[in-house]
Each structure stands twice: as C-alpha cells, then as structure tokens.
C-alpha cells in the first residue's frame, strides 16, 4: 500500500461522501440532486465553496451555519469521514484497478440506499435503478476486458428471486425494494459472495431485531427495514468475505 494513494483515496471518499449527503437528504423529498446548489436549510443562504471542504469545514465552523448560526447535523461530517475510511479500505483490499472503481461505486450507492431506508423505511427506484444500471455497466466492462461475468448474473438473479420468494411466502416483513437491493448486491458481488451476504444479512437482522425488542424499542409488530441489514452485510462481505469463506470452508 502506498500511503499517498491511501490519503488520496480518503480525500476522494470524503468529497464523494459530501455528495452522498445531498442524495440522502434530497432524494426522499423528490428534489434534484444537482440543483439548487448547497444551501443552509435554515436561512437558505448559498454555501460558499470554502465552507464545503468535507469534515474540515464542519470543524472550522464549529458545526454551525456561517450566516445564521443554526447547528449543522453531526451526521454530515460523520458520513463524509466514514465514506473516506471505506474508500481507503477498498484501496487497501483491492489495489489500483477496475475493482477499485467498482467497489467505490457499489459502496457509495449502497450508503445512499441504506441511509434513506434507515431514515424513511422507503427504497427509491432512483437509487436502486442507478445501482442496477451501474452493475450492468461493470458487467459490460468485465466482458470486454475478458473477465468472467456469469457469476454476477447468477448472483443478481438468485438474490432477487430469493427475496421475492420470501415476500410471496411470508406476505410482509420485506418489501420489493429489498429485491432491488439484493439484485444490485448480486450484480456486484457475484454468486458465492451474494449467498454469504444474504446469510449475514439474516443473522444481523435477527440479532438486531431481537435486541430492539428486548430493549423495548420495538414491538414484534413494528416494521424494521431490512435494507440497512443488506447494506451492512454487503460491506462485511466486500472486506471480509474471502476470509470468512476460507475460515468456514477449510
């Protein structure tokens, strides 16, 4: 690992993270993610470029709008920071190449889907559609550079069908948005890792669901979105999938 590339990956990740914040905030409201430019949600003043440096601007401004002093939610710099860290992990795990770009795209889209699902319990076709198209674009690239693509097609189809069957059998618990999220994971992770991801998602979902019920935060009838569990499971799979399978199989 080259430390300079690592730093570059982190900075790039925080910049993308700042854009993901915009997507997470605006897509559920049906607003454009490009227009209008970033502004304070309280006083509506346009935010100057020098106040839009990821993470750093938040610290310099001590978490408040430069003009009206309204508090900026901590989740903005935190998400920028986490995206930066994830990009460094991707670089450490996959080096420089097509996989680096592929997983940066995958993780970014999954962050947006997971965060929106977590906050609103809704999944938007705008985000899942982007994920599915991105997955197909990478398959086309893989095909042209001579890499195998069958596993990704099988992964996408089987994950989507699997969740769809659960919905049809249980008539609830999961939504069609989960089918789309699983399909994206399959297209990006391939068959073997998608199976691992689904397995992890159910375990994480069961454990967290049980903890929430035991703590009295949710009752058994409450709806807990499954999307965020798929997202967490897919991140574990990207970074630890190979180790988990090696450990499990040998």
Q: Which residues bind Zn ion (CB under 5 A)?
A: 40, 42-43, 65, 67-68, 70
Contact 78, 21 (CB under 8 A): no
Distance of closest approach, residue 57 Cβ to Zn ion, in angstroms: 13
Distance of closest approach, residue 22 Cβ to Zn ion, in angstroms: 16
Q: Which residue, 75 or 218, has its beta carbon nearer to Zn ion?
A: 75
Q: Which residue, 71 or 150, has its beta carbon nearer to Zn ion?
A: 71
Q: Which residue, 40 or 134, has its beta carbon nearer to Zn ion?
A: 40
Nearest to 127 by CA among 38, 23, 227, 13: 23
Q: Which residue, 65 or 112, has its beta carbon nearer to Zn ion?
A: 65
Positive or negative torsion for Cα 41, 46, 50, 52: positive
Distance of closest approach, residue 66 Cβ to Zn ion, in angstroms: 7
Q: Which residue, 25 or 87, has its beta carbon nearer to Zn ion?
A: 25
46 strand-pairing partners: 39
Which single residue is written with the structure tokens 């992890």? 200
Distance of closest approach, residue 73 Cβ to Zn ion, in angstroms: 13
Positive or negative torsion for Cα 122, 127, 128, 129: positive
Say whether the peptide bond before residue 201 is cis (omega within 30 degrees of 0).
no
Distance of closest approach, residue 76 Cβ to Zn ion, in angstroms: 14
- What one-character DSSP code corresponds to residue 129? H
């Amino acid at each position: 690992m080259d430390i300079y590339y690592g730093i570059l990956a982190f900075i790039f990740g925080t910049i993308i993270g700042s854009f993901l914040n915009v997507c997470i905030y605006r897509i559920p409201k049906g607003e454009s993610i490009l227009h209008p430019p970033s502004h304070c949600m309280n006083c509506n003043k346009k935010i100057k470029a020098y106040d839009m440096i990821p993470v750093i601007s938040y610290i310099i401004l001590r978490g408040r709008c430069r003009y009206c002093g309204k508090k900026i939610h901590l989740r903005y710099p935190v998400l920028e920071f986490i995206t930066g860290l994830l990009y460094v992990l991707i670089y450490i795990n996959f080096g420089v190449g097509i996989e680096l770009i592929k997983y940066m795209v995958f993780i970014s889209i999954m962050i947006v889907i997971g965060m929106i699902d977590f906050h609103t319990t809704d999944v938007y076709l705008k985000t899942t559609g982007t994920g599915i198209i991105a997955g197909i674009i990478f398959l086309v690239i893989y095909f042209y550079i001579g890499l195998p693509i069958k596993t990704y097609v099988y992964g996408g189809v089987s994950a989507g069908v699997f969740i769809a069957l659960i919905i049809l059998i249980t008539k609830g618990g999961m939504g069609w948005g989960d089918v789309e999220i699983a399909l994206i994971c399959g297209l990006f992770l391939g068959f073997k890792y998608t199976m691992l991801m689904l397995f992890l998602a159910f375990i994480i979902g069961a454990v967290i669901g049980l903890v929430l019920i035991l703590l009295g935060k949710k009752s058994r009838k409450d709806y807990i979105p499954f999307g965020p569990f798929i997202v967490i499971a897919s991140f574990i799979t990207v970074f630890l999938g190979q180790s988990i399978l090696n450990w499990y199989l040998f």
